[in-house]
A and B are shown apart, each in its own frame.
Chain A
Amino acid sequence: MSKAAILCVDDEVVVLESLEIELQKAFADTYVYEFAQSADEALEIIDELVTESVDILVIVSDWLMPGIKGDEFLIIIHQKYPQIVKIMLTGQADKDAVNRAINFAKLHACLHKPWNNKDLIATIKSGIMKL
């Protein structure tokens, strides 16, 4: 059986690298970790993972990104894959955008940069627990 995946989306590679280290440390090889620098790229990855029948458990997404913004992206995801746990991790998001994500993407949580590693891991865990 293939492993389940956690997908992180942020336009900055260094942020993704930091997240990868944190995830590795917290969950080791329990999950597959995928990273995308834009919503478009994330959608591609999701398609690939779905074709490979890898379950996507959690998406952690930035809000301010090139092209599709975080709230819009998560709403798209929610329409196709309502079961995926959606978390926003952002340095700056307007309230309306967060509210849209809560209402239309069933946002699990919105964390703010600079984030706290323990909070992030706890939030991901609590999301997975709900599944």
Chain B
Amino acid sequence: MNTGTTSNYQGNILIVDDTAANLRLLSEILAEKGYKVRPVPNGELALSAARGFPPDLILLDIMMPGINGYEVCQKLKADERTCDIPVIFISAINEVLDKVKAFGVGGVDYITKPFQLEEVLVRVETHLSLRFLQKNLQEKNEYLSQTLQQLKATQDQLIQSEKMASLGQLVAGIAHEINNPLGVIRSSVNNITAILDDNLEKLPAFFKSLSPERYLDFFNLLHKSINQAESLSTREKRLIKRNLKQELEALEVENLEHVTSTLVNLGVFEDIQAWLPLLKDRDSENILKMVYALAILQKSSKNIATATDRAAKVVFALRNYARYDQSGEKIEASIIDGIETVLTLYYNQLKHGVEVIKNYREVPPILCYPDELNQVWTNLIHNAIQAMEYKGNLIIDVTQQNHHILVSITDNGKGISPEMMPKIFEPFFTTKPAGEGSGLGLDIVRKIIAKHQGEIKVESLPGKTTFTVYLPSQLQTK
């Protein structure tokens, strides 16, 4: 329906009357005023004309042979194509006009015969302009709802791209998190292979050459090395080395440098006197070398296991983070698991100076969009560690209060100034240098929380900023 668009267009009127004279009279009056007129002599024709090309207004006689005006009107109102067309009833002054019935079946007005020229024109004009206004409004509404639809789609896209952006920032750290263990694995495999190549065939002869005392020493040393506790830091190791070196020097052990570093690597640096017979043995170098070789085998496989676990953990977290439910329906998930996923991915940025204090209470899983909530935790944790400049305490509280699950993320950074406070949730507001933040983070956080019928609150003082997210726990019931 494209009516009402040309400037001189005044309206298309369908006139229905079984009296030829009336039909002609009305047609002439209205045509003269510039309306496009279609006269039809009965109800049947009126219906098909109205359906075939819906007019802007219908003048409808009531008393007609066949189907009468009321029935025509009812049929028009029942049809989606014609229901919005205003109907003005025509009634002879001597007929009993049932006004209530006329309005009841959907008429907007009535005119009486014999026609008062001015009255007819005024009523027609009024209802046409009402009709045009209504149409206009409808078009605008349609346009608005289309725009709203587009905005919603854009917002979804923004949420998605923000997620990809924060993922992008994470990827750098994750590459490191995965390549480090891979490096250790590859190196360890290499070392194991090299040691087996060099020593395997020598082993039988080596054991044959050992005296019973050295045989005992060999296995004691090996056990000691295998059972040594955690890896020492490089600092601790240097200190131990220095002390041991002095001790061994005093004991006049030969090949000082090498023996010291081998013993420290084997975890043998206390009660060194006990090993003196071995160290003084003329085969000492050979024995130490073999113990060390076997200890490396042990150590390397341990390192491979640890590295594998670590890489697997990162990959698992990554998969959880990117989990995107195509169905668009909420699924049951644990809030704490989500937070832990994000912490795993951020481990690399946290480990050098941020102490994470977790106060988790046991809370039930809730129906939610887990990937979107992960985005919330990512944003809040990322903001927190940036505010602390990667040094300080990050406190994460998860508790349940009545019908809400509360997640608080607290940092001891410089805080948000009172002037900034009202703006932080505004889209495109950012305190970060260009290129580092989209300024959409907290806006999206708030939208995601709203989507979960939750709330976010913030309190900030210099040295203590807390973002608290309230999520209704009844989301657990479908």
| Residues of A bordering B, CB below 8 Å | 3, 11-22, 25, 29, 32-37, 41, 45, 64-67, 89-92, 94, 112-117
| B427 interface residue (CB < 8 Å to A) | no
Within 8 A of A (CB), among B161-194: 172-173, 175-180, 182-188, 190-191, 194
Interface residues of B in 223-276 (CB under 8 A from A): 231-235, 237-238, 257-258, 261, 265
**B179, A18: Cβ atoms closer than 8 Å:** no
* Of the residues B179, B191, B265, B352, contact of A113 by C-beta under 8 Å: B179
Q: State how many residues of chain B have any CB contact under 8 Å with chain A.
A: 39
What residues of chain A lie closer than 8 Å to B209, measured between beta carbons? none
Task: Please name the 7 residue pairs, one residue from A and one from B, whose CB atoms are nearest each other, closest first.
Answer: A91-B179, A66-B352, A113-B183, A18-B187, A114-B182, A92-B176, A113-B179
Chain B hits for A65, CB < 8 A: 352
Do residues A29 and B257 form an inter-chain contact, with CB atoms below 8 A? yes
User: Which of B185, B234, B353 meets A37, CB within 8 Å?
Assistant: B234
Q: Which of B183, B191, B257 contacts A25 (CB 8 A)?
A: B191
CB-CB contacts of B333-360 with A at 8 A, as 1s and 0s? 0000000000000001001110000000
In the complex, what distance in Å separates the CA atom of A3 from the CA atom of B257? 10
Contact A114 B190 (CB under 8 A): no
* Seed contacts A18-B184, A18-B300, A117-B190; 8 additional CB < 8 Å A-B pairs: A12-B184, A15-B184, A18-B188, A33-B261, A91-B175, A91-B176, A91-B178, A114-B182
Bound together, the chains give a CA A37 to CA B348 distance in angstroms of: 15
Write the nearest CB–CB distance from B159 to chain A, whole angstroms: 27
* A interface, over-half SS: mixed
Contact, CB under 8 Å: B296 / A21 = yes
The answer to whether B172 and A35 touch across the interface, beta carbons within 8 angstroms, is no
Alpha-carbon separation in the docked complex, A43 to B105 (Å)? 94
For residue B306, CB closer than 8 A to chain A, the reply is yes
Can you name 10 A-B pairs with beta carbons within 8 Å? Answer: A18-B300, A21-B187, A25-B191, A29-B257, A37-B234, A91-B179, A91-B183, A92-B173, A92-B175, A92-B176
Contacts of A66 in B (CB 8 A): 351-353
**Please, which residue of chain B has its CB at the minimum distance from the CB of A21?**
B191
Complex partner residue of B179 from A13, A41, A92, A117, CB under 8 angstroms: A92
| Docked pose: A25 CA to B352 CA in angstroms | 32
Whether B234 and A41, one on each chain, are in contact in the complex, defined by CB atoms closer than 8 angstroms, is yes
- Measured between beta carbons, the chain A residues less than 8 angstroms from B176 are 64, 90-92
Interface on B for A, CB 8 Å cutoff? 172-173, 175-180, 182-188, 190-191, 194, 231-235, 237-238, 257-258, 261, 265, 296, 299-300, 303, 306-307, 348, 351-353
**Nearest CB in chain B: distance from A115 CB, A:** 6
Known: A22-B190, A25-B194, A94-B172. A114 touches B231 (CB 8 A): no
CB distance from A38 to the nearest CB of B (A): 9
Distance in angstroms from B36 CB to nearest chain A CB is 71
Smallest beta-carbon distance A40→chain B, Å: 11
State whether B194 touches A115 (Cβ < 8 A).
no
Residues in A with CB closer than 8 Å to B265 are: 20
Residue pair B187, A32 in contact (C-beta under 8 Å): no
Distance (whole angstroms) from the CB of B261 to the closest CB of chain A: 8
Q: Name the distance in Å between B408's Cβ and chain A's nearest Cβ.
A: 27
Q: Complex Cα distance A66/B351, Å?
A: 8
Q: How far is the CB of B353 from chain A (nearest CB, A)?
A: 7
Complex CA distance for A60 and B65, rounded to whole angstroms: 105
Q: Which of B233, B299, B307, B352 contacts A67 (CB 8 A)?
A: B352
| B277 CB, min distance to chain A CBs, angstroms | 24
Q: A12-B180, A13-B233 are in contact. Are A18 and B172 (CB under 8 A)?
A: no
Inside 8 A of B238's CB, which chain A residues have their CB?
A: 34, 45
Nearest B residue to A25, CB-CB = B194
